[in-house]
């Protein structure tokens, strides 16, 4: 099981994670990203989540098992 976390203190609300992996991220009312999924994703979903994590310009997204 994967657990995603977005550090709202670091997040600048650029929306890259949402555009890359919109099934797992959304922008909240404060314009900051939030993780919206956890658990086992299909293989290609995991690739998108990893791309979103690596693309975050402020490294605000972490993943753990």
Q: Write the pLDDT tens digit of every residue in 2-50.
A: 789 999 999 999 999 999 999 999 999 999 999 998 655 555 568 899 9
What string of DSSP letters covers the chain?
--EEEE-TTT-----HHHHH-TTTEEE-TTS-EEE---S---HHHHHHHHHHHHH-TT--EEEE-
What mean pLDDT is predicted for residues 60-65?
A: 89
Give the model's confidence band at 60: pLDDT under 50 very low, under 70 low, under 90 confident, else very high.
Answer: very high
pTM over 0.95: no
Task: Supply the pLDDT for residue 42.
Answer: 55
Distance CA 56, CA 16 (A): 7
- Thinking of the domain 3-64, which architecture would CATH place it in? 2-Layer Sandwich (3.30)
């Amino acid at each position: 099981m994967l657990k995603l976390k977005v550090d709202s203190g670091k997040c600048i609300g650029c929306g890259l994670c949402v555009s890359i992996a919109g099934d797992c991220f959304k922008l909240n009312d404060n314009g900051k990203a939030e993780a919206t999924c956890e658990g086992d994703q299909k293989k290609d979903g995991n690739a998108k989540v990893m791309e979103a994590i690596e693309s975050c310009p402020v490294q605000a997204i972490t993943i753990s098992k």
